[in-house]
Amino acid sequence: MNITEESVGGVSVLRTEGRIDSGNASEFEGHLVRAIGDGSVKLVVDMAKLTYISSAGLRALLIAAKKARPTGGRIALSAMAPHIREVFDLSGFSSLFEIHSDEAAAVAAFGAA
Amino acid sequence: MLLQTRIILFVLATLAVVAGLLIGFSSLREEAANQQARELELNGLDTAWQLAVAGAAGRIDQSLGRLAGDPEILRALVAEERGTLTARVTALGLLSGRAGQGGADKGGETVSDVNLFAANGTLLYSSDPALDAAPLLNRALLDPVLAGQRLARGVRLLDGNRLIVMAGAPIYGAVSGDGVVVGAVVAGLGFPAALDVLRKNTGGRVFAVGRDGSPLDGASDPLWSAVRQRINPADREMQLLRFDGHRYALASLPVADLAGGRVATVLIATDITLAMEEHALWSVAYGVAVLLVLVLALGLLYGYLRQNFTVLDGAVQALQDISHGRAMGYVELPSGNDEIGRISGAVDVFRGVMREIERTAGQRERRLRRQQRFIRRQMEALAVTLEDEARQSLLEELRQIESETHDADSSQSRGVGDELGLLALGFSRLATRVSTQQVQLTQMVRDLRDALADKRRLISLQQELEIARTMQLTILPQVFPELAELDTAARMIPAKEVGGDFYDFFPISEDKIAVVIADVSGKGIPAAFFMLIARTMLRAIAESGVGPAETMRRVNNLLAAENEQMMFVTVFYGELDLRTGVLAFSNGGHNPPLRVTRDGAVIELERCQGIALAVMPDMPFAEKSLRLDAGDMVVLFTDGVTEAFNGSDTMYGDARLVEAVGRQVTASAREGLDGVLSDVARFTAGAPQSDDITCLVLRWRGAAGA
């Protein structure tokens, strides 16, 4: 797993790469929690280069979403590969997150909001 | 500068000074001797001159005798007959031809001047024809003659310009016979006559000059031109003269007048060329002889010094060798009681001492080496027993000790000089090391004890975990009821860490059985607990017979209520009616099971709305159902199956699973389960398992009543 962080037009973008499994999910969670911080944050988790995400990874996203909710923060996911989209669909997580076709669309969606 | 050179130079200088002094003294003495010789020579010449004058006077004496003995003259003198006297004197022919008088030489000596005096001193006759002719003698000179004394012979200057040699004698009266002086006769002879005698006597070349230096005689001599420049008429001296390749001794003799006063100077030049050459030759010979003696003496001295200094050089060389630490080079040095012998003795002593020192140093070196070997052996033996790092540092220390031993400047090497210095150094290092090791060891033992305690705790934790895992496994049904309608098999292959998969199979009524497969998010004890809770709730609620969707809804609400950890679980829950083969199911975010029909088609069970449980309360769960045909097989699985990775990071995936399941058309539930799981195992080929792999297989044989 490799995660880079960048700010694009006032939106934090977390680019994930490789595999997120139970071994490194806590690290992923750490990144997410840091990105959200205390304040109202718009966070895009880009999954263009993500090859795999386990249920532990989903849980990390869930924790981040729950943490963001009280302060009005929002988390969007972008550029999922089909098999990852499948995971989200199967687990029903698709209904919990905003999912965009690519990073720009996600950022733009935040900008429009 | 070498001592040898200094001594030779000093001797040379001393010799030079002494020789200089000797030469100076000898030349002074020679000068004095020469002076004396010149004086003697002068005296000799003076005597010769006196003799010459005397000779001339002798010649005059004959004339005087004849005059004094002539009776006629005697008579005429007494009678004072001037004419008779003149006639008689002329007749005697004593007068040499002078002034044209033409006196014939009658075999006797002649004189140039004659005076006859009366007893009273009156000049009765003078050969000088002048009227007032001056007497040859003045009164003061005449009186002693008249008194009967013979006149001292001498030179007389006449008329201020004419020099004669003269002599006078009294004339005694023959008559009385008692020796009464009746007159006096004085005669003179030209000065050259004396000079001739002198020439004859001395063999030299004679010159005469007047009192004013004007030449009187010898002016025709070719030597005169040289002589005239050297004339000091008043001085009685001896000079050296060089003329025409010859050397002459020029003696200058002032000639006194009878009446006193200098009237002329006679110069006698003697050819001394031969003598001088001889003298020069002798001088050269003498000088050469002296030089030879000097050189010989110096040579002998040099040889002697060299001989002695060669020995000294040997001693000095030996000393230098010793000072350079080469005491072994042996040089035979002479013994003796002189200084050289003593030095040689001292050198021998030094050499002995140096050898002793070297021997001691050699012993010390050997001792050091023995100690070094000993320490090396001990430390190496010690090093073998140590772990690699400690061994390296010990060997490094050993090298350090050895290098310090050879480094003369290091502080330790000074101590090493002692009898057991190196050993002491080695042991002190060893002791330091041992105490350091001891401290480290104590620390390590403490750490080890802590680690052991930790390990014990860990083991107990692991045991607990193991218990949890065993629990997790044991709560899963291992044996399924033998049913005519249904063949069931299931297995969970846990990952290394305790995970959260589970399956369940239980009857909910006489005709219905419930089948569950679930996957709790995360791992470890929390997941295990969460799984237990979920399973228990699910069972409890399912048995109440509210149907799949309602069961899911209730369980979800219960789980989501107190879920700080944000755990969740995906659950597939189905109820199979054994009478009809109808399977009603609800899916909470789980992978849809696969159905294999008798013709080998593999179909995913219809998807139905539902999110993983515990994520959020009050979520809707749909319910679907299907009727199984006899021979249908349903395969329930967790994502541990499809998401199993092999060594090259490839996922097993749905397609492979579908294929594997498709091969189980005729298999029993057990065979189908094994077939699928072994296919997965083949795929992963031993790659580490990251998630629980869980699979449950149902084979519907058909309703019992059918």
The reply to whether B527 and B441 lie within a common domain is: no
Average pLDDT over residues B120-138: 79
**Residue B570 forms contact with A (CB below 8 Å):** yes
Tell me, what's the pLDDT at A85?
Answer: 92
CA-nearest of B486, B467, B401, B488 to B672 is B488
pLDDT of residue B99 exceeding 50: no
Tell me, what's the pLDDT at B415?
Answer: 53
pLDDT of residue B103 exceeding 50: no
Domain membership flag for residue B539: yes
Task: Return the number of CB contacts < 8 Å for A and B.
Answer: 70
Average pLDDT over residues B4-31: 86
Poorest-pLDDT segment among B106-120, B343-357, B439-453: B106-120
The reply to whether B413 and B526 lie within a common domain is: no
Q: Which of B271, B286, B314 is the last residue of a domain?
A: B271
Domain membership flag for residue B57: yes
Contacts of B63 (CB under 8 A, 6+ apart): B94, B108, B109, B110, B111, B114, B187
Tell me, what's the pLDDT at A80?
Answer: 93
Tell me, what's the pLDDT at B512?
Answer: 94
Q: With bands split at pLDDT 50, 70 and 90, how would you rate the model's confidence at A69? A: confident
**Between B64 and B480, whose confidence is greater?**
B480
The reply to whether B69 and B93 lie within a common domain is: yes
Domain membership flag for residue B427: yes
Domain membership flag for residue B386: yes
The reply to whether B374 and B522 lie within a common domain is: no
Residues B21-56 as b or e (16 or more Cβ within 10 Å = b): eeeeeeeeeeeeeeeeebeebbeebbebbbbbbbbb
According to DSSP, the residues that pair with B252 across neighbouring strands are B237, B267
pLDDT of residue B98 exceeding 50: no
The reply to whether B221 and B259 lie within a common domain is: yes
Q: Which of B217, B249, B271 is the last residue of a domain?
A: B271
Q: With bands split at pLDDT 50, 70 and 90, how would you rate the model's confidence at B624? A: very high
Domain membership flag for residue B123: yes
The reply to whether B428 and B500 lie within a common domain is: no
| Nearest-CA distance A90 → chain B (Å) | 5
Tell me, what's the pLDDT at B138?
Answer: 79
The span from the CA of B114 to the CA of B110, in Å, is: 10
> In percent, how much of chain B has pLDDT > 70?
92
Average pLDDT over residues B651-667: 92
**How many domains would you assign to chain B?**
3
Tell me, what's the pLDDT at B614?
Answer: 93
pLDDT of residue B169 exceeding 60: yes
The reply to whether B491 and B443 lie within a common domain is: no
Contacts of B391 (CB under 8 A, 6+ apart): B383, B384
Tell me, what's the pLDDT at B225?
Answer: 83
Q: With bands split at pLDDT 50, 70 and 90, how would you rate the model's confidence at B174? A: low
**Residue B568 forms contact with A (CB below 8 Å):** yes
Domain membership flag for residue B88: yes
State the CATH number of the domain containing residue B121: 3.30.450.20
**Residue A18 forms contact with B (CB below 8 Å):** no
| Residue pLDDT, tens place only, B532-566 | 899 999 999 999 999 999 999 999 999 999 888 88
Tell me, what's the pLDDT at A28?
Answer: 93
* CB-CB under 8 Å, B611 with A91: yes
Choose the mutation target among A1, A21, A22 for the interface with B, i.e. most B CBs under 10 Å: A22
The reply to whether B191 and B340 lie within a common domain is: no
**Between A37 and B98, whose confidence is greater?**
A37
Tell me, what's the pLDDT at A76?
Answer: 92
Q: Which domain holds residue B243?
A: 35-271
**Residue B615 forms contact with A (CB below 8 Å):** yes
Q: Coil, strand, or helix at residue A40?
A: coil
Tell me, what's the pLDDT at B705?
Answer: 63
**How many domains would you assign to chain A?**
1
Tell me, what's the pLDDT at B660?
Answer: 95
State the CATH number of the domain containing residue B654: 3.60.40.10
Q: With bands split at pLDDT 50, 70 and 90, how would you rate the model's confidence at B672? A: very high
The reply to whether B338 and B260 lie within a common domain is: no
**Between B363 and B372, whose confidence is greater?**
B363
Domain membership flag for residue B613: yes
State the CATH number of the domain containing residue A54: 3.30.750.24
Q: With bands split at pLDDT 50, 70 and 90, how would you rate the model's confidence at B102? A: very low
| Residue pLDDT, tens place only, B264-292 | 888 888 888 888 888 889 989 988 998 89
The reply to whether B469 and B540 lie within a common domain is: no
Choose from A23-27, B176-180, B277-281, B680-684 the range with maximum mean pLDDT: B680-684
Q: With bands split at pLDDT 50, 70 and 90, how would you rate the model's confidence at B77? A: confident
CB B606 within 8 A of CB B486: no
**DSSP 8-state class, residue B645:** B
The span from the CA of B67 to the CA of B95, in Å, is: 11
**A52 contacts in B (CB within 8 Å)?**
643, 651
pLDDT of residue B628 exceeding 70: yes
**Residue B692 forms contact with A (CB below 8 Å):** no
The span from the CA of B633 to the CA of B152, in Å, is: 202
The reply to whether B134 and B255 lie within a common domain is: yes
**A56 contacts in B (CB within 8 Å)?**
521-523
Domain membership flag for residue B4: no
CB-neighbour burial class of residue B530 (10 A; exposed 0-12, middle 13-18, buried 19+) = buried
Query: Can you tell me the ipTM of this complex?
Result: 0.90
CB-nearest partner of B611 from A54, A59, A95: A95
Choose the mutation target among A20, A32, A90, A96 for the interface with B, i.e. most B CBs under 10 Å: A90
Mean residue pLDDT across chain B: 83
Q: Which of B271, B286, B317 is the last residue of a domain?
A: B271
**B640 contacts in A (CB within 8 Å)?**
none
Strands B162-172 and B501-507: unpaired
The reply to whether B112 and B238 lie within a common domain is: yes
The span from the CA of B662 to the CA of B631, in Å, is: 13
Q: Which domain holds residue A71?
A: 2-112
Q: With bands split at pLDDT 50, 70 and 90, how would you rate the model's confidence at B353? A: confident
